[in-house]
Amino acid sequence: MDGSDRTLKVGRRAILAGAGALAGTAVAGDKVEARAVGGPQSSGRLGGVDPSATPITTSIGSAPKSGMIYRFCNSFEFWPEADMAKGRKWGGAGQYTNLVADYIAAFCHVSPGAALRDVEFYVRNSGANPSTGYAVVWRPDVATLDTIGTVSIPPGGAISATLLELSSSQWGPFPLGCKVGASIYTPTDGTVQINGVRFGFSNGGGETSMLSVPTNVYDSRVTGGRLAANQERTVVLPAGRVPPGTAAVVLNVQVLNAAASGTLAVCSAYNTTPAPSLSFTGNPAAGQVIVATDAARRIKLKPTAAAHVVVDLAGIIT
């Protein structure tokens, strides 16, 4: 093909790969924030058309949900899961494994504290039978992928959008360092081609802002006194430090004057079964944790041995 033909084809692929939520969203890098759809915007430039506006006005993707943040992977980010020798080919509508039938997948960064609510697949399935899309999680400490949801993708002659809404038990948040992914099995004949995927996040799917200098937000030596063994204490973080819309906080925690070795749980106030966040065998002991917060900015502390606890705010996740 000549250079112009290649440019045309790449542009067309890019348009198709963006078939997530173009209409009614604001796009910034790989992050898309839901925004109410209004009337045409005029800046008085270029005949009343904002020059930053995209000429694309329609999409096969489902409408964005209020409060959600979306991230995308296009077709070029999909690769065979386990073995590159199984091949990867562009088939006109997306990628597929062309040498050996296998799963092909793409992965997306997960911000600390983020909850993955849905995954939308953009697939052309020209075969006779439905295909299956998988939402998966990659963890850095294991060699396997954990499946957290599946969806049936019906046959059809064109690229179509299929939305997988995850069970609340699978939303996360996920441990630091994890990535979420989308995977689909593709035959070598190209009847199933993946064109892209959209990941929908809430509760911290946005950005992490670290403070240049951590600031103290709680000290049991000043407020509340020493915590008893297995005592749960709810702490309200100051409004001046934790703004509205904060989904999670990064905390530096110290355990002081502990009566014995033990563990400290630091969790959201609505967590009924707090798991240990920090082990302590001496005085003092310190560590960093990421904790989801509610609208009232509350967290919960629970040591297994009597101790003082000091909490410094190191960052916020919105």
pLDDT, one tens digit per residue, over 54-70 is 677 778 888 888 767 88
Confirm if 79 and 88 have CB atoms less than 8 A apart. yes
Q: Which of 85, 95, 62, 69 is nearest to 183 (CA)?
A: 95
Cβ atoms of residues 110 and 170 within 8 Å: no
What pLDDT is recorded for position 89?
94
Q: Give the containing element (helix H, strand E) for 192.
A: strand 192-202
| pLDDT at residue 50 in the model | 52
Peptide bond connecting 284 to the previous residue in cis, omega within 30 degrees of 0: yes
Whole-number pLDDT of residue 223: 95
Q: Closest Cα to residue 68, out of 11, 115, 132?
A: 115
DSSP readout, 59-128? -SSPPPPTT-EEEEEEGGG-EESS-GGG--EE-SSSEE-SSS-EEEEEEEE--TT-EEEEEEEEEEE-SS
- Residue 32 tokens, joined: 């898309």
Q: CA-to-CA distance for 234 and 41, rounded, in angstroms?
A: 47
Closest CA to 179 of 156, 161, 194, 201: 201
Q: Which domains does the chain have, with CATH numbers?
A: 3-202 (2.60.120.260), 208-317 (2.60.120)
Residue 301 makes CB contacts below 8 A (sequence gap 6+) with: 227, 232, 233, 235, 264, 265, 266, 309, 311
What is the per-residue pLDDT for 230? 94
Place of tokens 């019906």: 154
What is residue 16's predicted lDDT score, i.e. its pLDDT?
36
* Exposure string over 222-234, b if 16+ CB within 10 A, otherwise e: eebebbeeeebbe
Long-range contacts of 218-221 (CB under 8 A, 24+ apart): 218/309, 218/310, 218/311, 219/308, 219/310, 219/311, 220/308, 220/309, 220/310, 221/256, 221/308, 221/310
User: What's the confidence (pLDDT) of residue 118?
Assistant: 95
DSSP tag of 300: E
Residue with tokens 């600031």: 215
Note down pLDDT in tens along the chain; length 318 residues.
333 332 333 333 333 333 333 333 333 333 333 333 333 333 333 444 455 556 777 788 888 887 678 889 999 999 998 788 899 999 999 999 999 999 999 998 887 677 899 999 999 999 999 999 999 999 887 777 899 999 999 999 899 999 999 999 998 878 777 889 999 999 999 999 999 999 998 865 556 778 889 999 999 999 999 999 999 999 999 988 888 767 788 899 999 999 999 999 998 887 777 777 888 887 889 998 888 887 889 999 999 999 999 999 998 876
